[in-house]
Amino acid sequence: MASPISCLSILIIPLLVTSLFYHVSNADRALLGKVCKKSMDYDFCMSTLLSDPEGLTDVLYRLGLVSTSVSLKIISHVNGEIGNTLIGNTDPTYRTRILNCQTDIDEIYDKMELARNAAGTQSYAEEATILTSAQQKLTECNNQFESSPISKYTSKIVKVIDISFVIISMITSS
């Protein structure tokens, strides 16, 4: 039988986590709203930025760091999902194209690490150049297919890159 303390912690800890995750000040919410309204997918943007506790900020510079950091998690997950499309598929052309895309996604991951470093040093022109290069790699991947079977995955990467571009635009135009 579980102790009363362990039962209590099972009830309280999720409440604390939930309240921390959903507590967003008006200033934080206003900034997130401004950024996400300019992004290509408002709901994706909000959920992405709020998926990291550091996304609860009313400082645009810090939000830019969050967007590049979260992108690394998303890219890792997407790359795994792309790899799963190989399971059971024996078409050598398809397999080669998917493996080429995985290589491209690995390079995009490396580029997003560089973009995060550029954002950290507030080198926004450098960050924008790196993001553009990552977008080009993603286009190369998708262009290998007449109708990309992995576009539902790669579109997430497009969206996180877009969020970073929105933030750079907002920072450099102010």
Question: CATH number for the domain including 74?
Answer: 1.20.140.40
Helical residues (DSSP H) of the chain, grouped into ranges: 4-22, 26-38, 42-50, 60-84, 92-120, 124-142, 151-172
Whether 14 is covered by a domain: the verdict is no
SS3 116: helix
| The two three-digit tokens of residue 134, written as one number | 């990552």
Q: How many domains does the chain have?
A: 1
Residue 20 inside a domain? The answer is: no
- Termini Cα distance of the chain: 60
**Under the phi-then-psi rule, with left for phi > 0, alpha for psi from -120 to 50, and beta for the rest, what region is 88?**
left
| CA dist., res. 44 & res. 157, Å (int) | 11
In a domain, residue 57? The reply is: no
Measured CA to CA in angstroms, residue 23 lies from 32, 47, 62, 126 at distances of 13, 14, 18, 34
Is the per-residue pLDDT at 70 higher than 50?
yes
Q: Which domain holds residue 121?
A: 66-172
Answer yes or no: is pLDDT of 20 > 60. no
- 21 is a domain residue: no
pLDDT at 173 over 80: yes
146 pLDDT band (50/70/90 cuts)?
confident
- The better pLDDT of the pair 109, 174 is held by 109
CB 158 within 8 A of CB 138: yes
Say if residue 149's pLDDT is above 90: no
Write down the pLDDT at residue 24. 54
- Give the CA-trace dihedral at 102, 105, 110, 116, to 10 degrees: -150
Residue 152: pLDDT band (50, 70, 90) is confident
The structure's pTM equals: 0.80
- Confirm if 49 and 70 have CB atoms less than 8 A apart: yes
Q: Within a domain: residue 49?
A: no
Is 76 within the bounds of a domain? yes
Q: Is residue 34 included in any domain, yes or no?
A: no
73 assigned to some structural domain: yes
Residue 90 clears pLDDT 70, i.e. is over it: yes
